[in-house]
Structures are given as C-alpha cells and as structure tokens.
Chains A and B, each alone.
Chain A
Amino acid sequence: MATTYNLKYPKIISRIKIEGLLSKLGPAEYESVRKDKYVYFDTFDWRLYREGYHLYLFGERFALYNFRTNEMEITENAENLKGKDISVHNSSLFGQIKRITGIREPLRQLDLRRTRYRYRLLNNENKSIAYLQIDQDRVKTERGYKKVDQILQITPLRGYVEEVQPLLKKLSDLGFVAFKEDRLKINLESCGKHPATYSGKIWINLVPQMPAERAMKQIYLHLLELMRKNEHGIIDDIDTEFLHDYRVSVRRTRSGIGQIKNVLDPQIIEKTKKNYSFLGKATNKLRDLDVYLLSENDYKRMVPDHLRKHLDPFFNDLKKNRRKELKNLIAHFTTPGYKKTLHAWENYLRREDDSKISDGSHTPIIDIARRVIQKKNKKMLQLGKNILDTSSDELMHRLRIEAKKLRYLLEFFSSLFEQDKMHELLRKLRQLQDNLGEHNDLVLQQRYLEESAGLMTEKGLPAVKTILAMGILIGKLNEKETHVKRAFAKIFKRYAAKNTQKEFRSLLNPVGEV
C-alpha cells in the first residue's frame, strides 16, 4: 500500500500562493485539474463512521470506503437518489450497508465540491518521485458553499519514500503541518457537524462529591437534549430508532424522577412527572406498531408458505394505524404547549442558583447513587426469587420494570464507579433484561394478535385464512414464550449468584471506603 502524507497550511491561502511555496521544493510538473462532487451519507447516529466507513456518492457511483484499512470495499452504480434517501436495494452494496446500519437509514450528511490539482515531483534526473495533490474543498452549509483548508497530499512512488523525506522537511519549514485526522471529519466539522458524537447511550461525567442537585440537573438536561435531537427524525419519519431513542430518554427521566427524590424542586418535579407521563403514553401505541411492523418478516417466516400472504391484511391494518398515530404525535410536537413545557423544564435545569432547594440537594451524589442502586438491586433479587417459586407472568413483568430502573441508575451514575466492574455488571444485567424483555414482548404480541383478530372479525374484514395464519402465529409465539420462560431461571440464578452480588458490593463499596 502506498504511503501518503497529508499536510495542511494553517490558513486558507490561494492556490497560486501554494504553488509559489511549492516552487521552492524543486522541479515539479503540473499534470491535471479536476472538479468533483461528493455526497456523503451516514445514519443519524453515525453507525458507518463509527465502524470506520465513508459512504459516498461520487458521480454516478456509490462507494463504501474503509478509512481504517484505507481500502475501497465496494463501489456500485447509483440506481436512484431521491432527496435524503439512498435507494440501492437488492445490491451487494445495500447488503453490506445494512449489515452495519441495521435498522437505521443513511441520511445525506455532507455535500462536498472538490477541486484537485495534481502535480508530479521530480528529482534531478527529471524522474517522477511522488505525486502531489492540492485539494480545495468546499462544503455546503445553510449559507451556501464554504471553503475549507486546502489539503496537500504527497504520495511517493514505489521506491522513493526516502527521496521524498527532504521535501517533507522543506514543506514543514515553509509552514505546512502534517495531520492524520480523517478528512471527512474535518469537512463535517467545518459545517458544524460532529461525526460519532451522537449516541443513544448516556455517559455523564460526574464527580463523587458533586451536590446531588447539580448532578441530577446535568443528567436530566442531557436526556432532554437527546429527546430534542430525535424529534426531527420522528417528524420526517426517517427510521423507527428516532422514536425509540426519544422514548428511552422520556423513560429514563421518569425513572430518575421516581427513584431519586428530595433533590430538586418538588413542585417542578411534580409537573414534569405529569408531562413526561403524558409523553410516554402519547408515544406508546406508535412504538408498539413500529415493533410489530419491524417483525413483519419474522412473523411471516413463522407461518407456512402458503398462508404468508394472508397475513398482509393484518399488517396493512397496522400500517394504516401507524400513519394515524404518527400524524397525531407530530401534531402534538408542534403545539405551543409541548414546546413551552420542555422549554420551562430546560430553563429550570439550566438555573444554577436554585432558591427552592430540597433536603437532599446538597448531599454528595455518590451517597445517593449507592443508596438507590443498592435498594433497587435488593428489590430485584427478592422479586426474582418469588418468580422462581411461582413462575408468575405478572411478577416477571414487574421484575422487568425493576431491572430497567436499575439499569438506568447504573447508567446515570456509571462515571462514579470503576469502569471494568461496571461493564461486567451491566453485561449480566443486560442478559437478564433481554430474557425478560423477550418474554414480555411475546406475551403482549400474542395478546395483541388475539385482540386484533377479534376486532377484524367484528368489522367483518378478514378472510378465514388470515385468521388461520394469525392463529398459527399465536401458537408459535406461545411456544417461544415457554422456551424463553424456561431459560429465565438459569439466567436469573447467574445474576443472583454469590459472586455476582459480591461484585456488586465491591463496585458500590470499594475496599477502604467501607
């Protein structure tokens, strides 16, 4: 693989000036100039970028480039490009992208225009020893195209790396600086975008002795920002993860408010509790419909081939309901009441000098964190043991909620504890949550199918085969539920085991602090 040296001049200067500086390097020959347009795509949460990929449209071709290995993995003719969507279905490129982006849709993230001047650097024998490129990039912003620093790229020819070194030294003396950052990142940042900064996961840097009021305000503010970042994706209906992330932030806030009491202004907390409870309910149905529709293919695979198409009326009905629910939610987002509520909450969270403080406002956050985590874990262990005795669905549901609450607490306060231990505990908790979550989904799905079949029959809509297919589906889901429930005991015992609980204690009470 050819070595390439990237250099930047600290300020934007004209190409003529750059050429003037380059003339001091020695003989060079101008080769060509070309102008190209690039459109870069990535998901809202930068899944491609995080995995080391650039996906871009260049002329009529899409390219997937791995910037970590410096390899072009795949290129393909663009079949269709409509606005923000890339439609390259049924192609190997689409398959490769889907493996990385999963549920999320790639969005148009950057429009770039590049003018590339190419030269050959020669030695005293007039032999080419390297290619030199000057790239002048312009990125699209709201105010039109904006110039970005010129990038100089020197690629020595095979066998000439050593001969190029004195030239690099000269360039450094002329004020050029070497850089290794990803060029897409530089271009994105120049138009105010920061790749890989959005994550649905939360990480809040807290200090153990921080007053609880400040810590909690910081956490809630972060969650509020996450909600806001996801609103536009819900409104534009880009993919279902926007709503998912939005709802997680709502739930996390509600869970925090419910568990960490006497820290913030009780009046405001009471109001927020109501508002967030409303937001949770307002998004419930849409999320449920999303989940069913995302499982469409899995559901169809569960019924015999000849009955698959008879499930279509059921899914069509879901799609219709989804459109209606989405419309209602968008309408809610645009109401002045919604905006005002979140604005007031934000103002409160940003206010540092809170006059209406509660008893626990000044308590160090570490004390509160330890107390609430311990309490929640104890409750979970008790509930789990009862399930082992009774195998009650209702208790499993309650345990699922408690596990979720504990998970949120651990995530809120993660920065206060030892990271390795925290990751290990979260891993075990996640295993338990996955089992409980799957069980709950299966129970609800069966119930929903049953109710839908009833409603559809009342309306006189479905054909017998649709009801039959739905019946088979309920049967399959029930089989799966039994299987998942059977696995619960083993998973819970692993979580409740002495050594896991010992790890828990040592996480919360490190040696020397007890």
Chain B
Amino acid sequence: MITISLYNMKGGVGKTAAAVNLSWLAVQENKRVLLCDLDPQGSATYYFRIKPKIADGLKSFLKGNKKLERSIKATDYKNLDLLPSDFSFRKMDIRLDRLKRSKKRLKKTLGRFASDYDILFIDCPPNINLVSENIFFASDLILVPVIPTTLSARTFKKLFDFFKKEKLPEQKLVPFFSMVETRKTLHTDSISQLRKEYPSFMKTVISYSSYVEKMGIHRAPLGCFNPHSRPAVQYQALWTEVKKQFNV
C-alpha cells in the first residue's frame, strides 16, 4: 500500500477536491483505495454523503483497533472506501502529545489496512503541528496544492524549510499548482518564479473552476457529473503524472 497525503498548512487551497478526485480516478483503474479524512471539518466525508462519525472517536482512531476497522464505509464507487472524519479529530495533536512514539502513531494506525488496499489517500487538516508530523512520517508522497499567490508561496517555502531543518526527506514533497487563474498576471508570474525555485512542482496545473465548487452540490467526484470539464481533465493529467513519476 502506498500512502499519498494531500497536505498544506494553509486552508482552502484544494486539498479535499484533489483527494476526492484522485481517489476516484485511482479506483477507475481497479486499484483498491482507502481515503482517510483527517480533517475535522469532514468535507471529503460530506462529498461522499457519509456521516462524519468514528465509533469511539479519536480514542479508537489512535488505538487503531477493530472499532476503527468497523468505522470504514464503502462509498458509492466500487473499491473506494472512506475512513470518515470525526469532530474529535480537532483534538488529535493534544492526544498525540500524551502518547509514546507520538510521531509514529498515525503510521501504525493506518498500517493495519496495508493488505486491504493498494493506495491510501489522506486528506489532511490545514495545520502544522504534531498531527502534520505524523502525516509526514506516515506518507510515501505528500502532494501539496499551492495557489500561485504570494501568501501561498510563502507557506510552501516555510514547509520546505521545515523539512530541511527537521532533516525530513524533501523528495516526499510533491507540490502542484491549484486554483490557478491564468488571466491573473500574479498567478502566471508566481508560477514561473516558483518553478525556478522549486523544480519539483508538477507540470500539471489545476485551474480555478466553478465545477470544483459544484462538487458540493452534486456531492460526487467531478468524473461522475462532469467528466469532460477542464478541472476533471486536469485531475486526470495530474494523476497520470504522479503515477508515472513515482511509479504508483
């Protein structure tokens, strides 16, 4: 099982939309996928029309016991299961802090599903704390959606520096441009600038689109209600690029 996280410490950058659409694309290729919604807002859970509830909440999640296994729900799409969000996840960093081996707990919890799935996607909460460090440790790839604006670029730099400082494997970080509006000069300039500075940015960019926002109305991945829309095609291209580059 390969673990791919959608992470950015900044909110509203398109993490959930990417997690939902990439998961759906992966199961179209007959992969067995588990999407873990770690964000207490539960947006990914909402998109799949599933109740944001884990039996025994955070307690069972951190123990990684049978109750957690029973909390997994099948989505409407074959081979795509979801480990729903739970509001108690908001306290995850505090609880982790009290535990031994607190940075490796998430890897242990999710590792028990290794034989059941080919890919584990994690939709991460927008933070940088102990939960994030757990995510960095548990992930094989960390896809980072970046809006090409000054503030977003600054946050990404901070993340990159954090990896350097903590001697974490920087090659895990896979940034891509998200919510791009090409008519805005700021966006196109930022893209050029950041690509120079960080060559690891994916070639594919995801445009800003009202279709992505409409996922909340349809409560379904783009491929199910508008498969030929621009962002749907871009997510497909992004998935193909990730697969090719990282042998997924």
A127 engages B72 (CB within 8 Å): no
Would you give the shortest CB distance from B113 to chain A, in whole angstroms?
Answer: 12
| A126 CB–B CB distance under 8 Å | yes
The proximity string for B residues 38-53 relative to A, scoring 1 for CB distances below 8 Å and 0 otherwise, is 0000000000111100
Task: Answer yes or no: B74 CB below 8 A from chain A CBs.
Answer: yes
Q: Which chain A residues border B50 with CB–CB below 8 Å?
A: 125, 127
In the complex, what distance in Å separates the CA atom of A325 from the CA atom of B144? 82
Which B residues, 56 to 96, have Cβ-Cβ distances below 8 Å to chain A?
Answer: 70-74, 76, 81
| Chain A positions 293 through 321: 1 when the CB is less than 8 Å from some CB of chain B, otherwise 0 | 00000000000000000000000000000
Most chain B CB inside 10 Å of its own CB: which residue of A126, A159, A160: A159
Contacting B at CB under 8 A, from A140-176, are: 157-160
Residues B76 and A128 in contact, CB atoms below 8 Å apart: yes
Indicate if the CB atoms of B49 and A159 lie closer than 8 Å. no
Q: Taking the nearest CB of chain B, how far is it from the CB of A1, in angstroms?
A: 12
The docked-state distance in angstroms from the alpha carbon of A97 to that of B74 is 36
A158: which B residues are within 8 A, CB to CB? Answer: 72-74, 81
What chain B residues lie within 8 Å of A159 (beta carbons)?
70-74, 81
Q: A120 — which chain B residues lie within 8 A by C-beta?
A: 76
Q: Is the CB of B73 within 8 A of A157?
A: yes
Complex interface residues of chain B between 94 and 119 (CB less than 8 A to chain A)? none
Report Cα–Cα, A127/B81, bound state, in Å. Answer: 13
Smallest beta-carbon distance A156→chain B, Å: 9
The answer to whether A125 touches B72 (Cβ under 8 A) is: no
Give Cα distance in the complex from A125 to B46, angstroms. Answer: 10
With CB as the reference atom, state the residue of chain A lying closest to B50.
A127
Question: Is A126 a contact of B49 with CB atoms below 8 Å?
Answer: yes
The distance in angstroms between the C-alpha atoms of A254 and B50, with both chains bound, is 73
B residues in contact with A128, CB < 8 Å: 74, 76
Q: Which residue of A has the minimal Cβ distance to B81?
A: A158
Measured between beta carbons, the chain B residues less than 8 angstroms from A157 are 73-74
Complex Cα gap A160–B70 (Å):
10
Range for the number of chain B residues in contact with chain A? 10 to 19
CA distance A126 to B76 in the complex (A): 10
Closest to B73 in A: A159
Contact residues, B171-205 vs A (CB, 8 A): none
Chain A, interface SS category: loop
Instruction: List residues of A (153-212) whose CB comes within 8 Å of B's CBs.
Output: 157-160
Bound together, the chains give a CA A159 to CA B45 distance in angstroms of: 14
Q: Which residues of A contact B48 (CB under 8 A)?
A: 127
List residues of chain A with CB within 8 A of the CB of B73. Answer: 157-160
CB <8 Å contact, B49 and A125: yes
- Which of chain A's residues 106-128 have a Cβ closer than 8 Å to chain B? 120, 125-128
Please indicate the chain B residues that have their CB under 8 angstroms from the CB of A125 in the complex.
49-51
- Alpha-carbon separation in the docked complex, A120 to B81 (Å): 17
Q: CB-nearest residue of chain A relative to B84?
A: A159
Distance of B218 from chain A, by nearest CB (Å) = 10
Chain A residues whose C-beta falls within 8 Å of the C-beta of B219 in the assembled complex: 126
A126 to B71, CA, bound (A): 19
Q: Which of A79-98 contact B (CB under 8 A)?
A: none
Cβ of A160 and Cβ of B74 under 8 Å apart? yes
- Chain A 394-426: CB-based contact to B (< 8 A → 1; otherwise 0): 000000000000000000000000000000000
In the assembled complex, which residues on chain B have CB atoms less than 8 Å from the CB atom of A160?
73-74
Cβ proximity bits A463-504 to B, threshold 8 Å, 1 near / 0 not:
000000000000000000000000000000000000000000
Closest to A123 in B: B49
Residues in chain A near residue B51, CB distance under 8 A: 125
Q: Cβ of B76: which chain A residues have Cβ within 8 Å of it?
A: 120, 127-128
Chain A residues, Cβ within 8 Å of B49: 125-127
Instruction: Kindly state the separation between the CA atoms of A168 and B74 in the bound complex, as whole angstroms.
Output: 20
Name the CB-closest residue of A to B48: A127
B219 CB → nearest A CB, Å: 8
* Alpha-carbon gap, A361 to B73, bound state (A): 71
How far is A126 from B219 in the complex, measured between Cα atoms in Å? 10
Provide the bound-state CA to CA distance between A158 and B81, in Å.
Answer: 8
| Minimum CB distance partner of B82 in chain A | A159
Could you tell me the distance in whole angstroms from the C-beta of A31 to the nearest C-beta in chain B? Answer: 11
B141 to chain A, nearest CB (A): 26
User: Please, how many angstroms separate the alpha-carbon atoms of A120 and B70 in the complex?
Assistant: 21
A125 to B49, CA, bound (A): 6
Give A127 to B49 CA distance when docked, in angstroms. 6
**CA gap between A120 and B71 in the complex, in Å:** 21
Closest to A128 in B: B76
- Name the CB-closest residue of B to A2: B74
| Closest residue of B by beta carbon distance from A126 | B49
Chain A residues within an 8 Å CB radius of B71:
159
Give the shortest distance, in Å, between A154 (CB) and chain B (any CB).
14
Which residue of B is nearest A29, CB measured? B76
Give chain A nearest CB distance to B92 CB in angstroms: 21
Residues of A within 8 A of B81 (CB): 158-159
Bound CA span A138–B140, Å: 53
Min CB gap A108→B, angstroms: 34
* 4 A-B pairs closest in CB distance: A159-B73, A127-B49, A157-B74, A158-B74
Ordered by A's residue number, 8 sampled pairs between the chains whose C-beta atoms are within 8 Å are A127-B49, A127-B50, A127-B76, A128-B76, A158-B74, A158-B81, A160-B73, A160-B74
Excluding A125-B50, A126-B219, A159-B74, 8 further A-B contacts by CB distance (< 8 Å) are A127-B48, A127-B49, A127-B76, A128-B74, A157-B73, A158-B81, A159-B70, A159-B81
Chain B residues with CB under 8 Å of chain A are 48-51, 70-74, 76, 81, 219
